[in-house]
Amino acid sequence: MIQENISLKPYNTFGLDVQAKRFTQVNSLLELRNLIQTYPNEPYFILSGGSNMLLTRDVEQLVIKLNIKGIEVIKEDEDFVWVESQASEVWHDFVQWTLARDYGGLENLSLIPGHVGTTPVQNIGAYGVEIKDTMISCKALHIKTLEIEEFSNAACQFDYRESIFKKEAKDQYIILSVVYKLTKKNHAIHTNYGVINSELESWGITTPTIQDVSRAVIAIRSSKLPNPAELGNSGSFFKNPIVSKELFDLLQKKYPAMPFYSLDENHIKIPAGWLIETSGYKGYRIGDAGVHSKQALVLVNYGHAQGIELKKLAETIQNEIFTIFNIHLEAEVNIF
Ligand SMILES: Cc1cc2nc3c(=O)[nH]c(=O)nc-3n(C[C@H](O)[C@H](O)[C@H](O)COP(=O)(O)OP(=O)(O)OC[C@H]3O[C@@H](n4cnc5c(N)ncnc54)[C@H](O)[C@@H]3O)c2cc1C
């Protein structure tokens, strides 16, 4: 059933009150195929958890809210298990499902909002782990041919918060399910990134299990990231910029305390949050659009901000960072 003039406020974590001219929910592949056959050649707007989008205006396209669920072990051997999850499983619940069965690999990605089907779009990552480390393949429906195509990990062309689904395959596919290869034993424990180690140590844990790592990640994230249910936001608004060694050397002379992470001889990643904080924007607020007071990388909606106001704020910050540091900050959030 197609509904008309539906507010998308409950469906995006910024809590932006824009209208969908036409809105529908699909609960199965069959329903999705039928919908596209009934409304062919339409521009569709695919909506999953709505946690990575800034909606700046009413949506003219037909909004398809995906609700295709199910989790299945499709293969296993002594050491590994291959789990296929349908697109609309809530990511954090899926991670907890794997941990309850002692399957390792996703624990560092606990509490990231959104749905499973979007994880390959963005190559989600946190605390030194990205989805590309465990994702084997995903199935996607080609919107024009209605054929289901399988993308291997390599075919997804993963990069930092990037994939083929944001580039040449953009708007051509709807991801239906994702397969992850997880460990059943000898789990690789990643605790060196960020403050996971110190959190575990404060609990007296020196040889953590994957479940301990997940609990530590949940505790850290809950203490420093605003909960979208309480304060509208979309997580990190900008990507951490990667700059040339040449520019980095110049900046380091001026800002010796600047944190950085060397990617290779010629490329250095700089935390966007530090750039924003140093430029004085942490805690900045104009109307109901603001920069979070604890986490400068997160833009927030204090209540009634409009998407366009948040976009303007983002542009102001981008201009300022460019003027001060000669660095272009790229949005991580999809802006519509
Ligand atoms: C508080 C907070 C913390 C966050 N922390 C992190 C973090 O640590 N690391 C990280 O990587 N991200 C983080 N994010 C961003 C976000 O959670 C992820 O990008 C998430 O994967 C988005 O999923 P979603 O289902 O909400 O996507 P949506 O916002 O619904 O969609 C995002 C994009 O993908 C498209 N899309 C949606 N579903 C499909 C589909 N099935 N097939 C094809 N295209 C589709 C949409 O059209 C849109 O362009 C955070 C967000 C918030 C609010």
DSSP 8-state assignment for residue 39? S
Distance, CA 78 to ligand 1 centroid (Å)? 33
State how far the Cα of 296 lies from the Cα of 317, in Å rounded to an integer: 11
> Which region among 56-70, 86-100, 185-199 has the lowest average model confidence (pLDDT)?
185-199
275-295 average pLDDT score: 96
Cβ(103)–Cβ(134) under 8 Å? no
Residue 180, classed as helix, strand or coil, is strand
Instruction: Please give the single-letter amino acid code of residue 133.
Output: D
Ligand 1 mutation pick, 28, 46, 332, max ligand atoms within 8 A of CB? 46
Cβ(165)–Cβ(123) under 8 Å? no
Provide DSSP, 254-319. H-TT---EEEETTEEE--HHHHHHHTT-TT-EETTEEE-SS-TTEEEE-SS--HHHHHHHHHHHHH
**Residue 16 CB less than 6 A away from ligand 1:** no
Q: Tokens representing 71?
A: 């989790």
pLDDT band at 193 (very low <50, low <70, confident <90, very high): confident
Residue 313's pLDDT is 98
State how far the Cα of 290 lies from the Cα of 52, in Å rounded to an integer: 17
Distance, CA 231 to ligand 1 centroid (Å)? 17
Q: What is the pLDDT of residues 162-176, one digit of tens each?
A: 999 999 999 999 999
Nearest CA to ligand 1 atom 53: 234
Q: What is the pLDDT of residues 227-269, one digit of tens each?
A: 999 999 999 999 999 999 999 999 999 999 999 999 998 999 9
Cβ(193)–Cβ(127) under 8 Å? yes
Residue 97's pLDDT is 98
Distance, CA 77 to ligand 1 centroid (Å)? 31
Please state, for a pLDDT cut of 70, what percent of the chain lies above it: 100
**Residue 163 CB less than 6 A away from ligand 1:** no
pTM over 0.85: yes
DSSP 8-state assignment for residue 238? B
Residue 331's pLDDT is 96
| pLDDT surpasses 90 at 126 | yes
| Mean pLDDT value across the chain | 96
Ligand 1 mutation pick, 118, 178, 218, 230, max ligand atoms within 8 A of CB? 118
Strand duo 232-236 + 298-301: pairing:
antiparallel
Residue 194's pLDDT is 67
Q: What is the pLDDT of residues 132-158, one digit of tens each?
A: 999 999 999 999 999 999 999 999 999
